[in-house]
Amino acid sequence: MSAAEILVPGKAGEGEALVLTAPISFWGGVDPETGRIADVRHPQHGEIISGRVLFLPGTIGSSSASAVLMELVHNGRAPAALVLREPDAILLLGLIVAREMGWETPVAVRLAHGTFDAYRGSIVKVAADGAVGIAA
């Protein structure tokens, strides 16, 4: 288990790791109705982020990213947990607002990017206290 910095507290999550190989724009890049990566230029186009532990090497900015993440939470299509290399205040605002609306939100943590590949292809658990590890 690795200790990660909690960026936004939330529900602990467990799921298959989806380690993105390129930054993504949530606005237009992720379908909030299906949780599918919709950006045809993204290397993981067509993958579903819902219920998975999403490892984000970065995001491509849009002030609407927070709204898309909030919609994913509201629609029950959010990732099980978010693991970011660097904090993204705009994206994470979506979790904060969703939580203020009374919706259950996944935990979001910061973990060194160099460690992301160790989780690829595994079932990963992110605890509410920020511990990240491969599920037994």
pLDDT per residue over 46-93, tens digit each? Answer: 999 999 999 999 998 778 999 999 999 999 999 999 999 999 999 999
Residue 33 confidence class, pLDDT cut points 50, 70, 90: very high
Active-site pick, 2, 25, 50, 62: 62
pLDDT at 1 over 80: no
Determine the pLDDT at residue 63: 82
pLDDT in tens, 97-133: 999 999 999 999 999 878 999 999 999 999 999 999 9
Please name which of 12, 10, 23, 101 lies closest in space to residue 65, comparing C-alpha atoms. Answer: 23
Compute CA distances 112 → 36, 63, 103, whole Å. Answer: 25, 25, 28
Residues, the chain, total?
Answer: 136
Cα atoms in the Cβ-side hemisphere of radius 13 Å centred on 50: 18
Determine the pLDDT at residue 2: 78
Residue 94 confidence class, pLDDT cut points 50, 70, 90: very high
Respond yes or no: is residue 62 known to be catalytic: yes
| CA 82 – CA 92 distance, rounded (Å) | 10
By DSSP bridging, strand 13-19 and strand 53-56 are: parallel
Determine the pLDDT at residue 136: 75
Mean pLDDT of 19-33: 95
pLDDT at 7 over 90: yes
